[in-house]
Amino acid sequence: MNSMLWLIAILFVSMNALIAQPKGYNYDEGKVPKYTLPDPLLMTDGDRVKTVKEWETQRRPEILELFKKEMYGRAPGKPANLKFSVFDEQQVLKGKAVRKQVEIQFAGKADGPRMTVLIYLPPKAKGPVPTFLTLNFRGNHTVADDPNIRLPHSWVRGRTKGETVDNRATEKGRGVAKSRWGVMNILKRGYGLATIYYGDIDPDFDDGWKNGVHALYPKPKPDEWGSIATWAWGLSRALDYFETDKDIDHKRVAVMGHSRLGKTSLWAGAADQRFALVISNNSGCGGAALSRRAFGETVKRINTSFPHWFNDNFLKYNDNENACPVDQHMLVALAAPRPVYIASAVGDKWADPNGEFLSGIHANPVYQLYGLSGLPASKQPPVDSPVMGRIGYHVRSGKHDVTDFDWEQYLKFADKHLKPRKK
């Protein structure tokens, strides 16, 4: 009988291991390939950056251009006919919040590509408030139990390439993702929260670049914007609106994203220096995790499963990560001297928590150039034990998600870096 129980236990553990680790992908630190990271302070001509001016005028533009050319893609600037329309503004949540809804028309036409920004602000704020700007996966109406939030008008993420729409895109979906947002806690701490359904900007499937904002532009060339760069472009258009809103402090906006939208927030913060603080939540490959580690999700896997996320030039680095002239620590460094927070989850090995931490560590030399400490840790901290310098990091217990614990750290980090210091 004991032998039978042992056999069952072994089979159970083996089956769980197969479920946890997709076939052909590495979760073993001992099998991480040898790699050498590009030096963020070494210019392509061989000269080493010695001053902030050299970083800002020479090396930073050089790295930014490499990421555009080889990975995320070049995006157009602000559209000439961009139009903002505030169609809802009132006190809600029993007087504990001011809700605004803003339609941003990318071509200035109501029947053209457009996105809706949902904004919650503290009701008794004395002047413009610092604000978290995020993208969401299922629609603004999923963020809170609020019957008057506009439902999605565009493609909605479903079960098969966007063709199958589930109930979360309808009235039944109101508030289903509220656990990820903590709206009341954010407001109580004196911050605003703004969110946009990412499908309003660009649908998340390989549609041949025919929908969303891409309908206004020619088909992308190999070095032009994939969906991540497109979603980041949409975040910048929201920031364009914030510059016109007297209730939002557009100079103190934190861009935050989870998973593929964490990849997006990192790129948005790199491409648009107006963002004051950048937050990556479980962003993994193509986000905060070092590509050269090939741990969990890899460049080849991401390019195969989601060919629309990056530009076509990035395909060159399938099973060839060491040939890429950049890696993700350099993406983190592009935010310098602005604060960056990187978050991992111990149960999310697919996103390579250690690789995310190492990106923060290897971005430190750029922050130190500014006289800042960067990430104040020499090794990955214990679970649920955040560290916060100019770069913050934690690996929390749990899985691939956004939790109250995550938000508590982001609020503390924002208190440290975004709120004015008391005299």
Domains of the chain are: 52-417 (3.40.50.1820)
Closest by Cα among 166, 375, 136 to 260: 136
pLDDT of residue 420: 65
Q: How far apart are CA 139 and CA 117, in angstroms?
A: 10
Peptide bond into 337 cis (omega under 30): yes
Q: Do residues 27 and 296 make contact, with C-beta atoms less than 8 angstroms apart?
A: yes
Q: Do residues 278 and 335 make contact, with C-beta atoms less than 8 angstroms apart?
A: yes
Contacts of 399 (CB under 8 A, 6+ apart): 345, 347, 348
Q: Do residues 311 and 73 make contact, with C-beta atoms less than 8 angstroms apart?
A: yes
| Distance set, CA 205 to CA 52, 156, 257 (Å) | 40, 10, 19
Q: How far apart are CA 334 and CA 291, in angstroms?
A: 17
Which residues in the chain land under pLDDT 70?
A: 1-23, 158-169, 420-423
Q: How far apart are CA 231 and CA 5, in angstroms?
A: 51
pLDDT of residue 421: 55
> What are residue 91's DSSP bridge partners?
98
pLDDT of residue 171: 87
pLDDT of residue 6: 38
pLDDT of residue 249: 98
As to burial, measured by CB atoms within 10 angstroms (0-12 exposed, 13-18 middle, 19+ buried), residue 17 is exposed
H/E segment holding residue 77: none
Burial call 238-268: b when 16+ CB within 10 Å, e when fewer: bbbbbeebebbbbebbbbbbbbbbbbbbbbb
Whole-model pTM: value is 0.93
Closest by Cα among 371, 360, 390 to 37: 360
The two most distant CA atoms of the chain are separated, in Å, by: 76
Closest by Cα among 279, 286, 321 to 307: 286
The DSSP symbol for 70 reads I
Closest by Cα among 351, 361, 364, 374 to 293: 351
Tens of pLDDT along 41-64?
A: 999 999 999 999 999 999 999 999
Tokens (6 digits) for 411 = 């609020």
Catalytic residue numbers? 259, 400
Q: Give the full edge-to-edge strand order of the sheet including 114-121.
A: 83-92, 97-105, 114-121, 192-197, 129-136, 248-258, 277-281, 340-345, 391-396, 387-388
Q: Do residues 220 and 314 make contact, with C-beta atoms less than 8 angstroms apart?
A: no
Tens of pLDDT along 228-243?
A: 999 999 999 999 999 9
